[in-house]
Structure 1
Amino acid sequence: MTVTDPTPRATAAPLTVRYFAGARAAAGRSEEVLPAGRSLDDLTTELVGRHGDRLAAVLRVASFLVDGVTCHDRQAPLPAGVTVDVLPPFAGG
């Protein structure tokens, strides 16, 4: 007799990273989709590996929103399906 698990197995939704202003220019794109389950610090390390030193400089001074809320815990795992906005400091006045 075979026992099956009646619970449907959902695949984890990825997360979306959206770049604004100087972050968009440094990354060379407005957004990208990556696997979830990592922290913001891990994510930024991967983004630097993908896009290089120019984006690294922006990420050092950027603010991050996770589903529209400022992220204060850079070690907490990012849930599947969230959107991470990368906001460099804005100039103006």
Structure 2
Amino acid sequence: MTVTVRYFAGARAAAGRSEESLPHPGCLDELVGALRDRHGPRLGAVLEVASFLVDGLPWHDRRAPVPSGATVDILPPFAGG
């Protein structure tokens, strides 16, 4: 199975794409590690401060299993108000 990763704002710029599919990572920490390895330190820095949604729900426990086939949204901090 795979997961779909969607990048927004600064995450999109750092990854150089808006979306990609990856092999199922198990948990969010494993996905973050795979993304850092794949895209380098620029995206790694964004991932350190990003929020994550899994199938539209906030995902705070980075060790909880991510469902197979899920969509993971990476949301860096937004400026403005």
TM-score, shorter chain, exceeding 0.5: yes
Deviates more, 1:75-84 or 1:45-54: 75-84
Unaligned runs of 5+ in 1: 1-12
Q: Which amino acid aligns with 2:22?
A: L
Counterpart position of 1:7: none
Determine helix, strand or coil for the equivalent of 1:55.
Answer: helix
Counterpart position of 1:49: 37
Larger radius of gyration: 1
Counterpart position of 1:86: 74
2:12 to 24, 39, 45: 24
Trace 1:37-76 onto structure 2 (pairs within 5 A): 37-76=25-64
Please state which structure has a larger fraction of its residues in helix.
Answer: 2
Instruction: Using the TM superposition, give the Cα deviation of residue 30 of structure 1 relative to its aligned residue in structure 2, in angstroms.
Output: 0.3
What is the CA–CA distance in structure 1 between the aligned matches of 2:38 and 2:25, rounded to whole Å?
18
Please state which structure has a larger fraction of its residues in strand.
Answer: 2
Unaligned runs of 5+ in 2: none
Query: 4+ residue runs of structure 1 moved beyond 2 angstroms?
Result: none
Determine helix, strand or coil for the equivalent of 1:84.
Answer: strand
- 8 A contact 1:37–1:79 mirrored in 2: no
Counterpart position of 1:8: none
The number of equivalent residue pairs is 81
Counterpart position of 1:10: none
Root mean square deviation of aligned Cα: 0.9
What is the CA–CA distance in structure 2 between the aligned matches of 1:66 and 1:83, rounded to whole Å?
6
